[in-house]
Amino acid sequence: MEIRGKKILITGAAKRVGRVIAKTLAERGAHIALHYNASTSAAEATAREIRELGVEVDIFQADLRQLAALEKMVDRVYTRFGQLDVLVNNASVFLKTPLQSLSEQDWDTILDANLKGPFFLSIFVGRRMLQAGLQGKIISIADWAGERPYRDYVPYCISKAGIIAMTKGLAKTLAPKVAVMAVAPGPVLWPKDLGAAELEAVLNKTPLKRLGTPEDVATTVAFIIEGSDYMTGSMIFVDGGRLAY
Burial letters 116-141, b for 16+ CB under 10 A, else e: bbbbebbbbbbebbeeeeeebbbbbb
Amino acid in position 138: I
The helix or strand, by DSSP H or E, that contains position 45, with its residue range, turns out to be: helix 40-51
Signed CA dihedral, 133, 10, 33, 106: sign only: positive
What separation in angstroms does the CA of 74 have from each of 4, 11, 52?
Answer: 22, 11, 25
Closest to 69 in 3D by CA, of 120, 1, 8: 120
Report residue 45: phi and psi, to 5°: -65, -45
Between CA 244 and CA 241 the distance in angstroms is 5
- 156 given a catalytic annotation: yes
Exactly one of 36, 150, 156, 230 is catalytic; name it.
156
DSSP bridge partners of 108? none
Q: Is the omega angle on the peptide bond into residue 176 within 30 degrees of 0, that is, cis?
A: yes
**Residues identified as active-site:** 156
